[in-house]
Structure 1
């Protein structure tokens, strides 16, 4: 049986960063465990942006700006990316990375808690695509909050939905705090699958990714 982590590493080996700054960010993240998207997940997200032509994008969880930068490179110079982060140190580092690549006209950082209503985010809606990549325990809460800011037939992408494969063996996770978190992620996955207003597919890319597409209003009416 092939190990899931080994397969992910194999896929990651075929992806490449667009520039030296991104390579440096990847190296730093690996060295001091900064949470950024895995290369294969990021590559798929970039392709999704190109396929759908998404231009108005919301990211929940900026970290050092890695994902927002790569989304901006895929979306183009006429895109508008709003990214939300509450850690001030992360914000400062992300801003430096974004300015180094001259993408400050595309990416706007909002300082705040992604689980709360943020007026700057509301004012920028509706969004073509929303990336949920912040606190895993709050995934469902964030989905509820930001669904209303998504355009019809827009897409919500959630990263880390397999949580290192632990969702396949929740009872086998013995550490109490970790077990609670894994249960939350597993419950979120079941929640996504039950949303009648969305079509969701779960992908075995990176650490697991869910792509949820809002159905057109006509489709809603037909189901009822």
Structure 2
């Protein structure tokens, strides 16, 4: 049976405390994002699935530093990360947010409206892979952020590569997974989704990529950062 990696409570406490300490200097209080968190939780949506504040700001900084105008988010939950990213875009910028669950999409729309970003965030409801296939490549994205079901990581990445501009960025979240992808006795479907993506990228001459592992309030995880050549 696969061994599931467990982070000791004292170590997770250290990660969380360190995140909170750094955030106290680098991330300003934000009533809108506080509302998004509460509204999401009040609707019974698992808010812990969203990115952390530090991760949200990291996405925002990438967009600001690259002058991005168009973003595709694959798996938006209730809009927390979409709001972080939309704030980095110019007035004519756009985040196209793909979400499978209608109840999540409804909360997303409410949260986006509260953030006064409805003009910048377009929500598409339905299976993300099909939604991506339906999008034209003629109007490419500057960044694709993939944070949906991990079993489809490779399918999402292939479509993301089609939709992102040359030298554009593709980020795939949650590829660290407590180090479990490196445990070859662990055959969890989400873990296999990470491995499948890595195997695909290994032989893909069209991208350059690396994994950055992270620790923080979300535990031990990581993201894959790729550039389309």
Quickly name the TM-score band, shorter chain normalised.
0.7 to 0.9
Distance 1:180 1:84 in 2: 22
Provide closer, same or farther for how the CA distance between residues 123 and 89 of structure 1 changes in structure 2, counting only shifts above 3 A.
farther
Distance 1:127 1:189 in 2: 22
Deviation at 1:201, TM superposition (A): 1.9
Deviation at 1:137, TM superposition (A): 0.4
Deviation at 1:80, TM superposition (A): 0.9
Deviation at 1:47, TM superposition (A): 1.4
Q: Which runs of 4+ in 1 moved over 4 A?
A: 2-8, 27-32, 117-120
Equivalent residue number for residue 101 of structure 1: 115
Equivalent residue number for residue 16 of structure 2: 9
Equivalent residue number for residue 222 of structure 1: none
Aligned partner (choices 130, 149, 152) of residue 116 of structure 1: 130
Distance 1:124 1:20 in 2: 38
Asked whether the equivalents of residues 11 and 40 of structure 1 are also in contact (C-alpha less than 8 Å), the reply is no
Which has the higher mean CA deviation after the structures are superposed, 99-108 or 113-122? 113-122
Aligned partner (choices 22, 46, 50) of residue 33 of structure 1: 46
Equivalent residue number for residue 175 of structure 2: 161
Provide closer, same or farther for how the CA distance between residues 70 and 56 of structure 1 changes in structure 2, counting only shifts above 3 A.
same
SS in 1 for 2:142: strand
SS in 1 for 2:224: strand
What pairs up with 1:63-78 in 2 under 5 angstroms? 63-78=77-92
In structure 1, runs of 5+ residues without a counterpart are 216-224
Distance 1:5 1:49 in 2: 29
SS in 1 for 2:226: strand
Question: Does residue 203 of structure 1 match 2:212?
Answer: yes
Deviation at 1:127, TM superposition (A): 0.5
What pairs up with 1:75-86 in 2 under 5 angstroms? 75-86=89-100
Equivalent residue number for residue 192 of structure 1: 201
RMSD of aligned Cα (Å): 2.8
Q: TM-score, normalised by structure 2?
A: 0.80
Distance 1:97 1:137 in 2: 28
Provide closer, same or farther for how the CA distance between residues 64 and 117 of structure 1 changes in structure 2, counting only shifts above 3 A.
closer
Asked whether the equivalents of residues 98 and 131 of structure 2 are also in contact (C-alpha less than 8 Å), the reply is no
Aligned partner (choices 44, 56, 72) of residue 58 of structure 1: 72
Deviation at 1:120, TM superposition (A): 6.3
Deviation at 1:170, TM superposition (A): 4.2
Provide closer, same or farther for how the CA distance between residues 32 and 115 of structure 1 changes in structure 2, counting only shifts above 3 A.
closer
Distance 2:61 2:16 in 1: 19
Asked whether the equivalents of residues 78 and 111 of structure 2 are also in contact (C-alpha less than 8 Å), the reply is yes
Which has the higher mean CA deviation after the structures are superposed, 33-42 or 18-27? 18-27
User: Per chain length, whose mean CA-contact separation is higher, i.e. which structure has more relative contact order (CA < 8 Å, sep 6+)?
Assistant: 2
Which has the higher mean CA deviation after the structures are superposed, 43-52 or 160-169? 160-169
Asked whether the equivalents of residues 8 and 205 of structure 1 are also in contact (C-alpha less than 8 Å), the reply is no
